[in-house]
Every structure is written in structure tokens, then in C-alpha cells.
Structure 1
């Protein structure tokens, strides 16, 4: 994957995450504020002030997630972002992380 291809895919992924969270916030009790600065998406949980940061790392061709539960790296494999350590998928992991930190069960889809 070229850097240009990675940048386009990363941008699409960040947009998908942000859109899914905004929809979830409108359709459920989840209260989050999303803000973007370049390749960094900051998700703040209004009720408790905790945050999740999702950002792209072009040199590594990875998406990184920082949450209360830890830091995670995802590499694109066959069209899915897969955790480099445990093989979990990004949107599945974000569903768990957001549910835990936000206190509202949520399933995010790519």
C-alpha cells in the first residue's frame, strides 16, 4: 500500500468512526463529543471526562488507539484493520472500548 493509498483509507476510517459515534450519540444515551485535528480523532465522554484517541500513523501504515484500557495498533489486512497483537478488528474493539468508557452498550460498524 502506498502512502497516498494509506492516507485515503485512514481518512475514510476516521470519518466512519466519527460519523458512527455522532449517530450513536443522537440515537442513544451515549454522550460523546468528537473533534478532529488532522489525522487525530479525539472522542470525549461528556459524563465522565474520559477520552479515546484514534489516529493514523503513516510511517507505520497503522491506526493507533489510546484508551483507558491501553494502547492498540491496527494494520490493514484484507480490507480490515487488525490488531497487531491479538488479531481483533478495529471497529469491534472500539465498540467494546466505547461501551466501557461511555457506559452505554454500542456496536460500531465500518
Structure 2
């Protein structure tokens, strides 16, 4: 995949997660603020807990950082999969982390 193709895909996933966070705030009354700067999306829960998703262009990976740990994902067959161990996809892991911070089940 070219750098441009990667950035298009990275933008798409970041935009999707940001739209979900905006929905949680507006429709589910979750205290979450979504801030995006370039290819970095920060979700702030209850004005103190951060979940950061960002594109690592040279590696063609998406990185996820939260109070509970850090995760790396690479695109395989249209899914962002964990590069370090078998486990949830990027969308699934973001939903798990955000659900824990929000105190209710959230989906991406």
C-alpha cells in the first residue's frame, strides 16, 4: 500500500471513531470530548481519561493508547489487527476501552 493509500484509510477510521464519539456525547449523554489534529484523535472521558488513536505512517500502523495500555494495529484483509498478539481488532478494542471509561456498552 502506498503512503497516500494508507493515509486515506487512516483518515477514514479516525473520522468514523470521531463520529461515534460525537454520537455518544449527543445521543447517549456520555461525557466524551473528541479532538482531532491531523492523524491524531484524542477522546477525553470525564475531562480526565484519554484514549488516543493515531496513524504511524512510516510503519503503516494505527496506534492506540489508553490508561490500560498501548496497542499497535496493521491493516489485513480490510481489518485493523493487533500486531503484537491475537486479540480484538482496532474497532473492537476502542469499543472495549471506551465502554470501560463510559460505564456502559459502546460500539464502533
- Class of the TM-score when normalised by the shorter of the 2 chains: over 0.9
Match for residue 63 of structure 1?
62
Shift of 1:86: 2.1
Q: Secondary structure at the match of 1:59?
A: helix
Tell me by how many angstroms 1:83 deviates.
0.9
Gaps of 5+ in 1: none
How far did 1:25 drift? 1.6
Cα distance in 2 for partners of 1:3, 1:88 equals 25
- Equivalent residue number for residue 21 of structure 1: 21
Instruction: Determine the C-alpha separation between the residues in 1 that align with 2:26 and 2:16.
Output: 15
Larger RCO (CA within 8 A; separation ≥ 6): 1
Residues matched between the structures, number: 107
TM, length-normalised to structure 1: 0.92
What is the TM-score when the length of structure 2 is the normalising length? 0.93
- Between the aligned partners of 2:23 and 2:106, the Cα distance in structure 1 is 11
Structure 2, unmatched stretches of 5+, are none
Partner of 1:11: 11
Task: Indicate conservation of the 8 Å contact 1:64/1:73, yes or no.
Answer: yes
Using the TM superposition, give the Cα deviation of residue 64 of structure 1 relative to its aligned residue in structure 2, in angstroms. 0.3
2:91 maps to 91
Aligned to 1:35: 35
